[in-house]
Amino acid sequence: MVGEILADQAHANALQRALLAEAGRFMTAYVQPHHIRLWLAGASGNRTLAAYEANELGETFDDIKTYKSTCKGIPTARLAGVLIEPSLKQVKAAIAVKSVVAFKSAYGTLTTGCDVCHITAQHGFVVIQTPPANPYADQHLIGR
Ligand code: HEC
């Protein structure tokens, strides 16, 4: 029993270390999936899910600011504050007023913010786009 708890703890510590090692772990584990789901839900008028995804995306950037405020000499916290927070606010506002048109426009600005940071961080080869399809076969994302 104690052995199992210690093994679990060791596993949790290893996971935490892996996660905090690089901003890239946050990106592929959390930022990218929420960014994809946000589009598919928001563009199809699935407002409740879209609002949820927008919050999750915001919380992920909050975590980046807390745990990875700089990465490889890049001020990730400051850049996220400038490049993500204002457009994410617009995304949330568009969802709140039920405007798919405003949502799509704000999402475009948000996505541009992703790439401006990638270019600033010498990762301009990471190019983000509006997702063309749902890669999550097990989750219903689009509005009915
Ligand atoms: C604050 C700067 C910053 C912002 C904002 C940012 N990224 Fe990143 N992103 C990075 C950095 C730095 C890396 C590379 C990290 C590494 O190599 O450890 C990265 C890597 C990635 C990767 C990994 C690519 C791969 O092939 O492994 C994905 C996917 C990604 N970002 C998606 C996004 C999306 C989607 C957004 C916008 C919602 C976004 N990022 C916003 C800094 C940022």
Cα–Cα dist 141/109, whole Å:
22
Are the beta carbons of 60 and 98 closer than 8 angstroms? no
Written as six digits, the tokens of 109 are 């600005």
pLDDT of 104-116, one tens digit each?
999 999 999 999 9
Query: Is residue 133 one of the residues assigned to a domain?
Result: no
Q: Does ligand 1 lie within 6 Å of residue 27's CB atom?
A: yes
Find the range with the poorest average confidence among 7-11, 101-105, 132-136.
7-11
The three-state secondary structure class of 56 is: helix
Q: Whose CA is nearest to atom 28 of ligand 1?
A: 27
Mutate to test the pocket of ligand 1, among 65, 67, 114, 129 (most ligand atoms within 8 A of CB): 114
**Ligand 1 geometric centre to CA of 44 (Å):** 25
Given the structure tokens 């592929």, which residue do they identify?
28
Query: Is residue 105 one of the residues assigned to a domain?
Result: yes
Query: Is residue 74 one of the residues assigned to a domain?
Result: yes
**Ligand 1 geometric centre to CA of 79 (Å):** 12
The number of distinct structural domains making up the chain is 1
Q: How confident is the model at residue 101 (pLDDT cuts 50, 70, 90)?
A: very high
Q: Does ligand 1 lie within 6 Å of residue 22's CB atom?
A: yes
Given a cut of 90, whether residue 13 has pLDDT beyond it is: no
Query: Is residue 113 one of the residues assigned to a domain?
Result: yes
Query: Is residue 13 one of the residues assigned to a domain?
Result: no
Share of the chain above pLDDT 70, in %: 92
Q: How confident is the model at residue 19 (pLDDT cuts 50, 70, 90)?
A: low
Q: Does ligand 1 lie within 6 Å of residue 130's CB atom?
A: no
Given a cut of 80, whether residue 16 has pLDDT beyond it is: no
**Ligand 1 geometric centre to CA of 80 (Å):** 11
pLDDT of 56-87, one tens digit each?
999 999 998 888 888 878 899 999 999 999 99
pLDDT of residue 20: 59
**Residues of the domain holding 74:** 22-120
Query: Is residue 143 one of the residues assigned to a domain?
Result: no
Query: Residue 52, Cβ neighbours under 10 Å: how many?
Result: 16
